[in-house]
Amino acid sequence: MALFARFRPLSFRLLLRRPASTAFVADEPDPSWGPTTQKNLFQSVTDALDTILSMDDTAVVFGEDVHFGGVFRCTVGLAEKYGKERVFSTPLSEQGIVGFGIGMAAAGATAIAEIQFADYVFPAFDQLVNEAAKYRYRSGSMFNCGPLTVRMPCGAVGHGALYHSQSPEAYFAHTPGLKVVMPRSPIQTKGLLLASIRDPNPVIFMEPKILYRQAVENVPVGDYEIPLSKAEVLREGSDVTVVGWGNQVHVLREVCGMAEKELGISCELIDLRTIYPWDTETICKSVSKTGRLLVSHEAPLTNGFAAEIAAFVQGECFLHLEAPVARVCGWDTPFPHVHEPFYVPNKYRCFDALKTLAAY
């Protein structure tokens, strides 16, 4: 399990040099957010944590190897700047990390925990689902651990295989009391992370690790927030609604371009951003216009969050639908090693599904 963390930093630095399977497309920040500087995604995480630590004296950042910067370097320089009492490494125990975070948050601190890989969060599942999510409810609002944010790298990264490539968002999206967020870019990461840390509920913040170094944008220098539970329409269209989150948004953006060029199909692309509670209004408004919906994510097909979106849209937009909702997802197998290109929903699988959907 996490004991392997001591031996993997070099291997994962090499792993992250692998070219992305699709081109990252940078977005422009809102001009009202002020001046910008170029940052990649892991640097935008550092920037957000730096912002919170400088403004909130109760904020603490902790997790395995966090003191020296972590495997993905997201906390580099923070311990030197704010001291080992506020930025520190923990024992190799995910259950202990989250349990400690719940206690810190309940005592009034802003607790920001890091799980080194999303695949390692499962020993802490009981703490998150049975403690953090229910703490306020079970006490009738007498107690509260809302100031807890749990960060974790997730998703495919090249050859992470079955213990370093999973996307477990659907497990937590089944739990009232938790919020689940996954950004697609550096600008989104900083704004959504700041909003997550300040949200009065425990938040699971999932960072697509393949984008840590490959995604580069002009990120606002100052403090800004992007609201949770609000999807973003990245491309307007009239024929098919296409929904994704995290790195899959970039795959789908390329697919939308292919569909327009090769098939003359106009796609409306939406980044869900907050997986739970999700923005039902934006999705249903789009589907009511286009009559078709394709949802894609890296997690396995069965009980993936695309199934929830499909069921909800079928109930709310039934009279507007021109075709069954399509899902393009990972397969119902453990995440493979050498067969990763056949597992992830790449642009060719998505394009084929989109063509079938449009012709229905």
Catalytic residue among 67, 114, 131, 164: 164
CA nearest 240: which of 212, 206, 269, 198?
269
Q: Do residues 192 and 261 share a domain?
A: no
What is the per-residue pLDDT for 89?
98
What is the per-residue pLDDT for 22?
62
Alpha-helix runs per DSSP H in 218-346: 248-263, 280-290, 305-316, 340-343
What is the per-residue pLDDT for 157?
86
Which residues pair with residue 112 across a beta bridge?
61, 149
- From 220, 245, 260, give the residue that closes a domain: 220
Catalytic residue among 64, 94, 268, 340: 94
10-residue stretch averages of pLDDT, the chain, 360 residues long: 40 42 83 96 98 98 96 96 97 97 97 97 97 96 96 90 93 98 98 98 97 96 98 98 98 97 97 98 98 98 98 98 98 92 94 96
Residue numbers of the domain that contains 341: 232-359
Distance between start and end Cα atoms, the chain: 46
Kind plus residue range of the DSSP H or E element containing 112: strand 110-114
Q: Do residues 236 and 215 share a domain?
A: no
Q: Do residues 261 and 207 share a domain?
A: no
Instruction: Count the domains in the chain.
Output: 2
- From 163, 193, 220, give the residue that closes a domain: 220
Q: Do residues 196 and 53 share a domain?
A: yes
What is the per-residue pLDDT for 63?
98
What is the per-residue pLDDT for 20?
43
94 as an active site residue: the answer is: yes
Q: How far apart are CA 50 and CA 60, in angstroms?
A: 11
Q: Do residues 213 and 236 share a domain?
A: no
What is the pTM (predicted TM-score) of this model?
A: 0.93
Q: What's the CATH number where 78 sits? A: 3.40.50.970
- From 220, 245, 273, give the residue that closes a domain: 220
